[in-house]
Chains A and B, each alone.
Chain A
Amino acid sequence: MPQSLELAIKTSSLTKQFGSQKAVSSIDLSVPKGSVFGFLGPNGSGKTTTIRMILGLAAASKGEIELLGHPIPKELEHALPKVGALVEGPAFYPYMSGRNNLIRIDSADRNSTASTRKKRVDAALERVGLTNAAKKKVHAYSLGMKQRLGLANALLKPREILILDEPTNGLDPQGTREVRNLIRSLAAEGITIFVSSHLLSEIEQLCSHLAVMTAGKIVAQGSLAELRNESQTRLVLKADRIDELVDLLKTQGLTKLSLKPDRVVVPVPSDFDVASLNQLLVKKKFMVSEIRLEQPSLEEYFVNLTGEGFEVVR
């Protein structure tokens, strides 16, 4: 089986240029089928533009897109019925009820069956917990309710993939947890989930895969385990007679060490044998007060890749 059939989304050298600025710069995304794929990046990094191109809302300046095996935009109409999406926040007709809004969008899809429409709309509303507000006009909805209605819209039909752009935006902690649970239960049904966020903590517990985007480029991509491995394990050591300690470590091949006021930090392979080193130190009569291996958190890794702070990158 060609590899592209096992990928729900595949882009190669995908580029979007607005004037002289490259909003998206030659990215290669590979989203495996059945994965929960976190698409991470600070605001303005090009995530939404990428999603717009995948969904055929905007044309790519360069590069190719395959969505569920269909080249985009050529076979867009074949791919989209299998895709549920939330793009850049929910959007509805404020003067219509939540339920009528969903009926409206479902009527727009020529592939959807009119006879099951009401049932499917009610089921989607139920799934996101909006049954009681179904008849309220959307202008009376809170942002969180609109976000849920947007999710209900994505769930109007059985989908193969859900593309969710910042699905927890504007939700309170409880709503965030509910959305997370919803995503988990959908993923358990085998639906591929592509979820973007600017906060790692929002999606870290959900995702099986991750891509990190910054300033239009993808700087890391892979399964969570792969990405964790990419981050360098460190040995942290606290003891007396620092100078002698440094000499000793050098004899052990640990040369790239950095000296902090009260401890030594050395990058080491992830299978480094701490116990033997400890034994050696004790034998040489060092007073060891701390010795441990440290794995930088994904958060730290993410911040290393994307930079920190509020500064707009470009």
Chain B
Amino acid sequence: MFAKSLSLSLMLSELRVMFTRRRTWAMLAAIALIPILLAVAVALTSDQLAPGEGPPFLDRVTQNGLFTGFTATLLALPLFLPLTMAVVAGDTIAGEASLGTLRYLLIAPVGRLRLLVVKYLGTIVFALAGTFTLMLAGGIIGAILFPIGPVTLLSGDQISLAESIGRMALVAVYTAISMSGLLAIGLFVSTLTTVPVGAMAATVVLAGVSQILDNLPQLSWLHEWLFTHYWLSFADLLRQPIELGSFASNSLLQLGYIAVFGALAYSRFTTKDILS
């Protein structure tokens, strides 16, 4: 019953629409560019870099190319990754509304809740595509420019090449989960307007505000409730034994955001007059 109402063919159609757009590919290409730029810059200047200089992990990139993906994730997290997520999530409903296709989907009939769920799942797929692109591009460029081998973790232990690839996948999943709360916020904002650019901008602003609040010590009581709070904690996955505490807290927090903003989006979208 649930499977039927979610209907695989609508999900596939949603992904087809998303990945037919040149914009989607352009954003994935831009994401891939981050580790590439990073690795090239480091390779060109590696002899001038003192250990510990620059962002965390940066000095490790030269020792092991596999660290490129982790470092690039760290660089992309504050702005670039949320920006691409805001574009996709802000477009979900508002984009269809501005094209006018929303009314034709609704009279198909698609069912408003069903459309909302499929739209959200589509953004999650994009988040996974984005974070895996980041890791994959990082791994490949790192392997080309730097030695690769067993990875020395933050705890000082060494893990095998195979296991470190597993950790890369885990970090990609972690980062996608980190984005899921923001995506739910974006989905909600997208039900408020028929101007997709407005929804995108509002979503990215919210991501920025949350990070700023997270940096104000006066608001420390608030920090663990902010959806950006655990974004950088993926580093815990790079310890031995693996530290899963922040993975769990992050997932729980994001689920809370999904529940709240999913419910808001639902109540807004199912009662909204579609006049575009």
Contact = CB atoms under 8 A, between A and B. Distances in A.
B101 A92 contact: yes
Interface in A79-123: 80-81, 83, 85, 87-96, 100, 103-110, 114
Contacts of B104: 87, 91, 105, 153
Interface in B96-127: 99-101, 103-111, 114-115
Interface residues of A, number: 33
B273 A59 contact: yes
B127 to A, nearest CB: 22
Contacts of B16: 100, 104
Contacts of B111: 77, 110
A108 B107 CA distance: 9
A83 B107 CA distance: 8
Nearest to A87: B103
Contacts of A104: 13, 16-17
B100 to A, nearest CB: 3
A275 interface: no
Interface string B1-39: 000110101101100110011100000000000000000
A108 B275 contact: no
A145 to B, nearest CB: 16
**Interface residues of chain B: helix, strand, loop or mixed (majority):** helix
B99 A57 contact: no
A58 interface: yes
A164 B104 CA distance: 13
A56 interface: yes
B101 A91 contact: yes
Contacts of B218: none
B107 A57 contact: yes
B274 interface: yes
B271 interface: yes
Q: Quick one: which of A76, A91, A96, A105 has the most chain B CB within 10 A?
A: A91
B100 A109 contact: no
A52 interface: yes
Contacts of A90: 100
A174 B108 CA distance: 29
Contacts of B13: 103-104, 107-108
Given A77-B109, A77-B111, A92-B101, A110 B10 contact: yes
A105 B22 contact: no
Contacts of B100: 88-91
Contacts of B273: 52, 57-59
Interface in A33-55: 52, 55
Nearest to B102: A91
Interface string A238-274: 0000000000000000000000000000000000000
A109 B274 contact: no
Contacts of B4: 110
Contacts of A56: 106-107, 109
B107 A110 contact: no
Contacts of A114: 9
B101 A110 contact: no
A138 to B, nearest CB: 10
A57 to B, nearest CB: 4
A57 B274 contact: yes
Given A91-B104, A108-B105, A58 B275 contact: yes
Contacts of A57: 103, 106-107, 273-275
B271 A59 contact: yes
A176 to B, nearest CB: 22
A103 B5 CA distance: 18
A105 B20 CA distance: 15
Nearest to A111: B109
Contacts of B114: 110
Contacts of A109: 108-110
Contacts of B109: 56, 76-77, 80-81, 108-109
Contacts of A105: 101, 104-105, 108
Contacts of A94: 99
Interface string B248-276: 00000000000000000000000101110
12 contacts: A56-B106, A57-B274, A91-B100, A91-B103, A91-B104, A92-B99, A93-B99, A96-B20, A100-B16, A105-B101, A105-B105, A109-B109
Given A107-B13, A109-B110, 10 more contacts: A52-B103, A87-B104, A91-B100, A95-B20, A103-B13, A105-B108, A109-B109, A110-B7, A110-B110, A110-B111
Interface of A: 52, 55-59, 76-77, 80-81, 83, 85, 87-96, 100, 103-110, 114, 153
Q: 8 closest pairs, A vs B, by CB?
A: A91-B100, A107-B13, A58-B273, A80-B109, A108-B110, A109-B108, A108-B108, A57-B274
